[in-house]
Amino acid sequence: MTGNRVVIIGGGFGGLSCAKGLRGSGARITLVDRTNHHLFQPLLYQVATAGLSAPEIAHPIRSIFRRRPDITVLLDEVMDVDLDARLVRMRHNQPVGYDYLVLATGARTSYFGNDAWAAHALGLKSLEDAVEIRQRVLLGFEEAENSDDAGERERLMTLVIAGGGPTGVELAGAFAELGSRVLRRDFRRIDPRAAKVILIEAGPRLLPTFPEKLSQNALDELRRRGVEVLLSTRVDDVQAGQVHIAGRVIPAHAIVWAAGVAAAGLSGCLDVPKDRAGHLLVEPDLALPGFPDVFAIGDIASIKQPDGTQVPGVSPAAMQMGVYVADVIRARLRGAARAERPFRYRDKGSLATIGRHAAVAWFGPLQFTGYLAWLLWLFVHILFLIGFRNKAAVLLQWAYAYIFYRRGARVVFGRDWMEDDAR
Amino acid sequence: MTGNRVVIIGGGFGGLSCAKGLRGSGARITLVDRTNHHLFQPLLYQVATAGLSAPEIAHPIRSIFRRRPDITVLLDEVMDVDLDARLVRMRHNQPVGYDYLVLATGARTSYFGNDAWAAHALGLKSLEDAVEIRQRVLLGFEEAENSDDAGERERLMTLVIAGGGPTGVELAGAFAELGSRVLRRDFRRIDPRAAKVILIEAGPRLLPTFPEKLSQNALDELRRRGVEVLLSTRVDDVQAGQVHIAGRVIPAHAIVWAAGVAAAGLSGCLDVPKDRAGHLLVEPDLALPGFPDVFAIGDIASIKQPDGTQVPGVSPAAMQMGVYVADVIRARLRGAARAERPFRYRDKGSLATIGRHAAVAWFGPLQFTGYLAWLLWLFVHILFLIGFRNKAAVLLQWAYAYIFYRRGARVVFGRDWMEDDAR
């Protein structure tokens, strides 16, 4: 028999799936997160583009585990993990000892070493990020309405997105619709349809992990919506209100960085093998080499499939890893031997939406686009949202937006915007 | 004929009703607000108590007037009004001239001269206020869960509300339910039912503007819910985490000031007659004395009824004043003579909610309480919310909360809370 104290760091898809999977296992679980909520990240871009409001895609973690007296949720920040002493040190709480540790802190935005760009280009990994992007874009329109200067107006209504993966594509399509449809009649001096969305991708095609046919469809649909797509283009520099690419400086009020992620900060505290972006390299059973009771799951981990490909940093993968590790721990608590089957990621398909009635769907040999793909995307996302209330509220919000082209979550508030003329 | 430029300062109930009432009048309207949204203030306490999220009680002003090409909405701050030159000066825009001016900037929290208290006691007049209160209370529970110190835990779970009017009563009841019902199962180390809500009122009864029988009912219902109500008690001092009353210092993590309002800051720029709290004294037709084309409506104005009583600072009054002034201006634009009927406030009744199934309702000689009053309160507020989406979303949210005792809007986010140990 082993001790049954399980500490899970991170309340995202990985951590939550693991905690859920441990139900009835006899484990005494402590789950620590820096925020009080579980975030449905695939829909974070909806908050950034004023389609949904923050509470609709986030659910308080305590609320999720109300009926699990075996889970103690702590709102705290993990400062350090002592792998030898088996202790987790936090900012506010006394250190917590563990018998099994699950690291599930996810990813953070990476500027590929150009950390100075973080001050001018907003990432999209948290609710704060999404709300800040939304605020910046909406206030850009407001300031343009207030402005006399044509050049200034153009800059205020220009948005640059770096990164042509699903996040960048979804943002670009949604922002294009914001100007061309949602805000169209709201202003009297500016024409929101003149707003420019520029999507920059370093590689030769959008959605590089998708099949070429779907990449082309995404490109066509975005261009049809007026998005300027620049392929095979690297960002050379980002300054306040400016993006520098080869031979061109783009003045832009809002700049979003969706071009790279790296492992969350916690990986920096751990003296274990990692890849270049800080992801923790794990054994086939997702344990850290040399520490069989410490697991890393989700975006903080780096693991290859049997066929040599990397397990992608997507929500379904994190959930599968969480469930897998819960099974491993459950077996150990029952006294089972350590040899379990290795983790295998089951790719159940990929979806990316581009705009109204336009999405791409990929299920192995099956690829399709357009209205059907979009309906499927809608259905899948509603299904997976956590919590009844969120599902119904999101459905209602989307139904309304669909029928009336009206985006609900455009309310802006916060104390400092009026005084901050330098933004 | 007169010029037809109408400038409305403020997008609350007064300003909006006036703008709506001017439809088809031939006026060219500029409406200026410091925020981008119209706020349904009667439900602001719901955001503060995590019952509703901000976008559910606020609606973008531009969105409301999409189909009114005669209205130009500006997101800006009015710095000064030149009554002689008939100019409105703003922070970002060029000055705007007017033929008719409507001042509808509302009220701000007043600490009765003790402005230092503002740093420690949160008001409730804006979305930022409400979100800050909610965050403070929820994080108080979180910090208590993290704490080892019994005295500290007690302080962190104590909330003091100053002011026994409808706002204070509604806040007290809702916060009592937050601890006793909503959060009950969410924590493992603390018991949220031990949270203390203390309501302080300087006068001899709660809801002083209501009939005595209803005041008594509110008092009984709050005490039944575990709220400590201190009547005939003045607040002597407010410091960080402490409220001083006669002979007692109450350590409290969250302190809310719902005890006083004064006219919004704009009144300070105007050299016209005002009352002690800065409200602008107006003629029977709501115009400023000596400036027949400048009107003040809503909470910024002070006007007596024919029977000598003050028109109360409530939403229905602001709406009626807005409609009245719109009629006055419409008549002037048609060339009518200046003598119109004076403004008369029609008291259509008052409602205040205390908690689940408990409210007070007052319609002239008709007074009732309990479940029926609560149902009526619910009905009236749904009805008056602006915008279909908001109505349905709020209804859904409340239905869910009612059935499951679950508050939806408890997601907390914001960058600085973890580092701010001094709070």
Catalytic residues of A: 170
Residue from the list B145, B183, B413 with its beta carbon closest to the beta carbon of A54: B413
Mean pLDDT of chain B, nearest integer: 90
What pLDDT does residue A418 have? 39
Residue-level pLDDT at A340: 75
Q: Which of A393, A388, A222, A383 is CA-nearest to residue A315?
A: A383
User: How distant, in Å, are the alpha carbons of B74, B109, B110, B124 from that of B113?
Assistant: 32, 11, 7, 17
Domain that holds residue A152: 115-259
- Assess if residue A384 is contained within a domain: no
Residues of chain A with pLDDT under 70: 1-2, 339, 385-423
User: Picking from A92-106, B14-28, B190-204, B367-381, which range would have the lowest pLDDT averaged per residue?
Assistant: B367-381
CB contact under 8 A, A142 and B53: no
Structure token digits, residue B79: 């710095």
User: How many contacts, defined by CB atoms under 8 Å, are there between A and B?
Assistant: 149
Over residues B277-289, mean pLDDT: 95
One domain, residues A229 and A314: no
The enclosing domain of B288 has a CATH number of 3.50.50.60
* Shortest CA gap A94–chain B (Å): 8
Are residue A272 and residue A254 in the same domain, yes or no? no
Whether residue A379 is contained in a domain is answered as no
Long-range own/partner contacts, residues A226-229 (CB < 8 A, 24 or more apart): A226/A176, A226/A180, A226/A197, A227/A172, A227/A173, A227/A176, A227/A197, A227/A198, A227/A199, A228/A196, A228/A197, A228/A198, A228/A199, A229/A164, A229/A172, A229/A198, A229/A199, A229/A201
The residue among A32, A34, A62 with the most chain B CBs within 10 A of its CB, best to mutate, is: A62
Residues in B touching A409 (Cβ below 8 Å): 55
**Chain A residues 182-211 within an 8 A CB cutoff of chain B:** 183, 185-189
Determine the pLDDT at residue A59: 86
Same domain, A165 and A266: no
Same domain, A221 and A324: no
- CA nearest to A65 within chain B: B186
A123 and A245 co-located in one domain: yes
CB-based contacts of A328: which residues, under 8 Å, 6+ apart? A285, A286, A295, A340
User: What tens digit of pLDDT does each residue of B241-268 get?
Assistant: 999 999 899 999 999 999 999 998 899 9
SS3 B416: coil
Q: Does A80 reside within a domain?
A: yes
Residues whose CB falls within 8 Å of the CB of residue A345, separated by 6 or more in sequence, listed in order: A305, A311, A312, A317, A320, A321
Provide CB contacts within 8 A for A29, sequence distance 6+: A6, A7, A8, A19, A22, A68, A70, A71, A72
Which helix (H) or strand (E) segment holds residue A14: the answer is helix A13-21
Write the CATH number for A158.
Answer: 3.50.50.100
CA B53/CA A53 separation, integer angstroms: 8
Same domain flag for A251 and A273:
no
- Mutation pick from A39, A43, A72, A75 vs chain B, by most beta carbons of B within 10 Å, is A75
pLDDT confidence of residue B390? 62
Residue B391 in any domain: the answer is no
Q: What angle do CA A270, A324, A104 make, to 5 degrees?
A: 35
Given a contact cutoff of 8 angstroms between Cβ atoms, the answer to whether B323 and B317 are in contact is no
Do the Cβ atoms of A188 and B72 come within 8 Å? yes
Q: Do A400 and B410 touch (CB under 8 A)?
A: no
> Is B198 found in the same domain as B86?
no
Going by the DSSP 8-state scheme, the letter that residue B304 receives in this structure is B
Distance CA A13, CA A22 (A): 14
- Does A35 lie at the interface with B, CB-CB under 8 angstroms? yes
| Residue B305: C-alpha distances to residues B15, B204, B317 (Å) | 21, 26, 12
Hey, which residues does B2 pair with through a beta bridge?
A: none
Q: What does each C-alpha distance from B358 to B168, B214, B320 come to in angstroms?
A: 15, 11, 28
Whether residues A249 and A285 share a domain: the answer is no
Q: What is the pTM of this model?
A: 0.89
Token couple for A329: 């721990």
- Predicted confidence at residue A380, as pLDDT, reads 84
Instruction: Report yes or no on A394 lying in a domain.
Output: no
Q: Dihedral (C-alpha) A363, A365, A369, A372: value to the nearest 10 degrees?
A: -60
Q: Do A141 and A255 fall into the same domain?
A: yes
Is the Cβ pair B54, A183 closer than 8 Å?
no
Residues in chain A closer than 8 A to B147 (CB atoms): 92
Question: Is there a contact between A128 and B414 if contact means CB atoms under 8 Å apart?
Answer: yes
Final residue before a domain boundary, out of A333, A366, A387: A333
User: Considering the domain boundaries, does residue B23 fall inside one?
Assistant: yes
Residue that is last in its domain, among B212, B244, B259: B259
Cross-strand partners of A39 = A58
Is residue A418 within 8 A of residue A79, CB to CB? The reply is no
A264 touches B: beta carbon within 8 Å: no
Read off the pLDDT of residues B212-249 as tens digits, 9 standing for 90 and up: 999 999 999 999 999 999 999 999 999 999 999 998 99
At residue B421, does pLDDT exceed 50?
A: no
Q: Report how far residue A140's alpha carbon sits from residue A159's, in angstroms, rounded to the nearest whole number.
A: 9
How many domains, in total, are found in chain A?
2
| R_g of chain A computed on alpha carbons | 22
* Residue B78 half-sphere exposure toward CB, CA atoms < 13 A: 29
DSSP class of residue A274?
B
pLDDT tens-digit map of B18-62: 999 999 999 999 999 999 999 999 999 999 998 888 888 888 999
The answer to whether residue A126 is domain-embedded is: yes
Q: Which two tokens stand for residue A101?
A: 């540790």
* B411 closest CA partner among A170, A207, A47, A151: A47
Asked if residue A53 lies in contact with residue B55, where contact means CB atoms within 8 angstroms, the answer is: yes
pLDDT band at B404 (very low <50, low <70, confident <90, very high): low
* B417 pLDDT tier (thresholds 50, 70, 90): very low
A220 and A93 within one domain: no
Asked if B94 reaches chain A (Cβ–Cβ under 8 Å), the answer is yes
Minimal Cβ distance to B415: which of A128, A188, A396 = A128
Q: Is residue A182 domain-shared with residue A281, that is, in the same domain?
A: no
pLDDT of A247 reads 86
Q: Chain B: residue nearest A392 by CA?
A: B396
Task: Please report whether residue A18 resides in a domain.
Answer: yes
Looking at the complex, does the CB of residue A135 fall below 8 Å from at least one CB of chain B? no
Cβ neighbours of A414 in B, within 8 Å: 128
**Among candidate residues B127, B197, B193, B140, the one with its CA nearest the CA of residue B168:** B197
Given B227, B259, B291, the domain boundary residue is B259
Residues B239 and B270 in one domain: no
Mean pLDDT, residues B277-293 taken together: 95
